[in-house]
Amino acid sequence: MAIKIYGIKNCDTMKKAFTWLDNHGIAYTFHDYKKLGIDESTIKQWLQEFDIDQLINTKGTTFKKLDEVSQKEALSNPTGIKLMMAYTSMIKRPIVVAGKRLLLGFDAANWEKELG
- Residue 44, class by beta-carbon neighbours within 10 Å (0-12 exposed, 13-18 middle, 19+ buried)? exposed
Which of helix, strand or coil describes residue 46?
helix
Q: Which residues are catalytic?
A: 11
Q: How many CB atoms lie within 10 A of CB 76?
A: 12
